[in-house]
Amino acid sequence: MKKLLVILLLSGLVVFSLSFSKKNLRDIYSGPVAYWPAPFVDGGVKWNELGVLPESPVEKQRDSLKHIIELGKILFFDTRLSGSGKISCATCHQPELNWADGKEKSIGHEGAINKRNSPTIQNSWFYKRLFWDGRSSDLQDQAFAPINSEKEMHSEMPDVMRKLRKVNGYKELFRKAFGDEQIDPDRLTEAIAIFEKTIVSRKSRFDIFLEGDKKALTNSELRGLHLFRTKAKCMNCHSGPLFTDNLFHNSGFSGNDDGYYKVTHKEEDIGKFKTPSLRDVMKTGPWMHDGLQKDMHAIIEKFNKADLPAGKDKLIQPLGLTKREKKDLLAFLHAISAAPLEFQKPDLPE
């Protein structure tokens, strides 16, 4: 009798612990974020937990800003901002391509090849600094650059102003947006910047999972989420709801581009680039500042082996991921990628 009881008790224990270990990743990650396992981040790293796609700050002001947003949208698509009259911002930031251009390096004025890969402008409201090397501090300041850039739009602000002032339709659009018909560089870039802040990602399956649909992620994707936060140490840099620490690192892909050094002139910043958001990353290849990475398996393998050139960040270490783990990590990158939100291109004024 006693024996039987012991056996029963033991088997009960076994079943209990089995069901506890069965408290699998799905249950753990379906629970409150506060109970998620701690991420593997190195000492001194400031990180934020992953989370649901945050709202752009202009979302709440959409009504009061609607005329400025409309004007900015039109300007973004207007090729009259370029010297040749053939290139607009949207040439290199295309709505159907998640607002990137799908090219290794973007092609601008008269076929000039840019030095760097065109990043998506989705969620760019979030960045503290813009461009791969951080040389611009806000979207309005940034918008001057491509217009003047020889390789991009190859124009000059005074010429752009002259051209736009001749377009009757713009008088009304600027009046609605700013109260009078004056067309000047400051208003032009402000409107573009505010429009850009409305460009965000669509919610991914990861967001839908976080909002309570426990079936939104496959087992492989869940394992990938766990790996991303733990063994693969991606959270050392790609943390927070937008998967970026908003900082600059030498992740070993710098080639011979000085990157952030151009901004700070500090030796330690040679080869550092802005940590890009990974939202929609499977839609915005080829990857990295130089667009040289065209295969996500190869990128994951490079992070795994850490056999990257010297000078790389000390946060990049060999990971020892198995074949299956690498597959799971890739699956997770798919789960945080979504098709772009539908977008209606504007009619241009005459």
Q: Is the peptide bond before 286 cis (omega within 30 degrees of 0)?
A: yes
Q: Does 155 bind ligand HEC (CB under 6 A)?
A: no
Q: Does 122 bind ligand HEC (CB under 6 A)?
A: no
Give residues 327-346 in contact with ligand HEC (rule: CB under 6 A): 329
Binding range to ligand HEC, per CB under 6 A, among 85-93, 211-219, 262-270, 336-344: 85-93
| 299 within 8 A of 316, measured Cβ to Cβ | no
Spatial distance between the Cα atoms of 301 and 323, rounded to a whole number of angstroms: 10
Q: Does 95 bind ligand HEC (CB under 6 A)?
A: no
Q: Does 284 bind ligand HEC (CB under 6 A)?
A: yes
Q: Of 50, 69, 92, 160, which lies in the binding site for ligand HEC, with binding defined by CB under 6 A?
A: 92
Binding range to ligand HEC, per CB under 6 A, among 45-53, 132-140, 156-164, 218-226: 132-140
Query: HSE on the CB side for 158, CA within 13 Å?
Result: 0
Spatial distance between the Cα atoms of 85 and 331, rounded to a whole number of angstroms: 42
Spatial distance between the Cα atoms of 254 and 105, rounded to a whole number of angstroms: 15
Q: Does 325 bind ligand HEC (CB under 6 A)?
A: no
Spatial distance between the Cα atoms of 35 and 186, rounded to a whole number of angstroms: 48
Q: Of 53, 234, 242, 263, which lies in the binding site for ligand HEC, with binding defined by CB under 6 A?
A: 234
Spatial distance between the Cα atoms of 87 and 148, rounded to a whole number of angstroms: 12
Spatial distance between the Cα atoms of 173 and 180, rounded to a whole number of angstroms: 9
- Residue 328: both structure tokens together: 């799971």
Instruction: Give the footprint of ligand HEC on this chain (CB under 6 A).
Output: 87, 89, 91-93, 106, 108, 114, 116, 118-119, 121, 124, 127, 130-133, 139, 142-143, 146-147, 152-153, 192, 196, 232-234, 236-238, 249, 251, 253-254, 273, 275-276, 278, 281, 284, 287-289, 299-300, 303, 313, 315-316, 329
